[in-house]
Amino acid sequence: DGLVKLVEEDRAAQEPRTIGYEIVLGTEAMKALEPYSTDTDRLLSIEPLFEDEKIMLWFHGGGWVIGNPATHRSMAGDASQQAQARVVPIDYRLTPTHPFPSQTHDTLIAYLYLVQKGFKPENITVAGDSSGAHLSLVLTHLLRHMQIATPGGLVLLSPWSDLVHTRPSMESNRLHDYLVIQPLESPLNYGRMLYAPGKPLTERMRQEMQGTLLSPINGSFDGFPPTLLQVGGGERLLDDVKELATKIKDQNPGNPEAVKLEVFVGMPHIFHILFRYRKEAQDAFESIGAFVKSL
């Protein structure tokens, strides 16, 4: 119902609502694309440079509260460098000004826009970090529900997949990770601020937050797109990511390529940005590049 309302608001608006974005290219991506275009305007337009061009659609992290394409430009650049592909981070709406499902609405628009512009779904990799990885999961579940072709693959860095339940690493890694996550009972809990900012916690809210579009770990993963999961061994979401990987694997018993889980020993949440200079981050981006190329 929330998505329908947002669509109706967009249609009724006097002026079209815009969603900001960037197109990020690493030097290796520019080299790979040089045979197809050296025109800057064309490189920076959301249109395929050739029939089967691969592209990455990136949703930034920040607890759905902060962040924009600029804050994650280095991450998008490293991914582009290794995948030798263009990366498109979008400036989706943030809570509490724009609570759920505003973010999901924007990610759906961005994905359908790429398809409308000529990119084949199988050539689109949807990627994100933390809350952005959550949105990547949610978008894929929504596309499946709408019977729309899903992306060729997912790159999920420390995805937040369960907004209600916590697992042992949430407490055991508390002193090893910088991530501050308030319990669900707190009004400052990120999940509550996403779903119903400023409203008291009720049993009905708790149940609704377990729905697939808020806690995507509870959805069906049978036939899900190939998924790369990366997580730090010292972070609070470690057990959540492990359980997500297990669920994808168990629901796709005949497909050993369904999910790939990479745990980087001792690393905290989204070390890709904080410790960009370390070998772990370099290895992580090399693996992302290899995964995208393999799709």
- Token pair 């959805």 is at which residue? 219
When the pLDDT of each residue in the chain is averaged and rounded to a whole number, the result is: 96
Predicted confidence at residue 249, as pLDDT, reads 98
Q: Burial of 234 by CB count in 10 Å (0-12 exposed, 13-18 middle, 19+ buried)?
A: buried
pLDDT-derived band at 240, boundaries 50, 70, 90:
very high
Contact 278, 138 (CB under 8 A): no
Predicted confidence at residue 18, as pLDDT, reads 95
Find how far residue 268's CA is from the centre of its chain.
18
Rounded to whole angstroms, the maximal C-alpha distance in the chain is 58
pLDDT tens, position by position, 77-134 = 999 999 999 999 999 999 999 999 999 999 999 999 999 999 999 999 999 999 999 9
Per-residue pLDDT, averaged over 161-188, amounts to: 94
Evaluated on CA atoms 215, 289, 61, 106, the torsion sign reads: negative
pLDDT tens, position by position, 249-286 = 999 999 999 999 999 999 999 999 999 999 999 999 99
Structure tokens at 3: 């998505």
**Number of CB atoms found within 10 A of residue 62's CB:** 17
Predicted confidence at residue 205, as pLDDT, reads 96
Per-residue pLDDT, averaged over 189-208, amounts to: 96
pLDDT tens, position by position, 199-234 = 999 999 999 999 999 999 999 999 999 999 999 999
Query: What is each CA distance from 223 to 42, 229, 261, in whole angstroms?
Result: 35, 17, 17
Find how far residue 222's CA is from the centre of its chain.
19
Q: What is the pTM of this model?
A: 0.97
pLDDT-derived band at 5, boundaries 50, 70, 90:
very high
Per-residue pLDDT, averaged over 190-202, amounts to: 96
d(CA 53, CA 115) in angstroms, rounded, equals: 12
Query: What is each CA distance from 69 to 22, 29, 90, 122, 260, in whole angstroms?
Result: 7, 18, 6, 24, 26
Predicted confidence at residue 191, as pLDDT, reads 96
